Structure 1
Amino acid sequence: MILDESWRLPVTGPRRTAGELHRHEHAPTLRGTLQAPYTRGRSIREFSDCQIPLKDLVEAVEPLYREVPRAVPSAGSVYGLSFSVLTSATDLPLNSATPVIRRRRGDLSRLVFHRLQGSFHLLVIAVETPRYVHRYGPRGRRYALIEAGHFMQVFLAEAHRRSWAVCPVGGFHDDGVAELISRPPWYPEPVYLAGVGRQ
């Protein structure tokens, strides 16, 4: 058995020449399928000053995770993610299922390592890690992170449907975000952020 360098998959038979491989002719593509929500090869970091209504964002988040049938799988049906929105908007919704914390726009930009520009909300995905660890031991933290990734994937599709611009953010000031969203009894750990706005 040899390794075909064009596909990085094990194949049998004699090694083929470069001319016989046609490595680009039949290469699979994501255009028109999974690539549809993404129009550029880099994250959206510059948002317009036309901010999306905060109420719309808040109302979009919880149903994706809580309503049955659930769009996001959870190991052992723990469903230990929690969500918060950090925003500079003044139209804060009343009786929101998702906590909303107001901060100045400059303060929000400083929370993320690659600075976002324009008018945006920061969606915070946090995990109540003890709930996963209690059920699965140390492996529970891995399951929690996978679940957060699943939610972001579903949220990106919903944002695309609503014509929103989104920048998933993994590099942020952990302690700074945690201090804003933490609440007893679990003190959820922020693991994933998303800048949400318009282009």
Structure 2
Amino acid sequence: MEQVTFALAKGRLAKKAMELLKELGITCKEMEGESRKLLFTSDDGKYRFFLSKASDVPTYVDYGVADIGIVGKDTILEENRSVYEVLDLEFGKCKMAVAGKPEMKELLESGKFIRVATKYPAIAKSYFEKFHRPVEIIKLNGSVELGPIVGLSDVIVDIVESGKTLEENGLVVLADIEPLSARCIVNTASMKVKHDAIRNLLNNIEDLRRRENA
């Protein structure tokens, strides 16, 4: 029997993904409770799962270590790996946006040089390149909201959920870049070699989503 291997982004997305699969009858008792294991097998033996840092999920799928990955659209865009994005799972919804102090709106719309702090340099670069915009992109790993507050940058490019963190720090959304949510990605070779198993699974997920939204 050919197993289908999933790479799941650790945390909320993995939890939601396993809840979704459980609704389809795919269960994995090994993943319940506390465990230091890194690789898990479903109760029926048809699937394997491993948890990884979100940014590594597209890499595992690209190299064929995982057949399927479940990860945020932001990570897919930032990592830009050679994978098929096949399904919007419609959870973990938020957006990528340009944000800053309200007075930066004029600078953003002026076309002049702008300094941008972000955890997502590839997404930021791609966005500003569309407008042929002179830009300096500063990669940060921590709270990017600090960038405009302390004068490191004019604006930030970051994920926005409720907008509460921005509001508490005197920042606002200046432009939307991309709607985000959890997506299902598939290895290009796996889509051919394990086509029936993967396609059936994706169809079942789509049917479940349709029923839930009906």
Give TM-score, length-normalised by structure 2: 0.20
Give TM-score, length-normalised by structure 1: 0.21
Q: Structure 1 or 2: larger helix share?
A: 2
Quick check: which has more Rg, 1 or 2?
Answer: 1
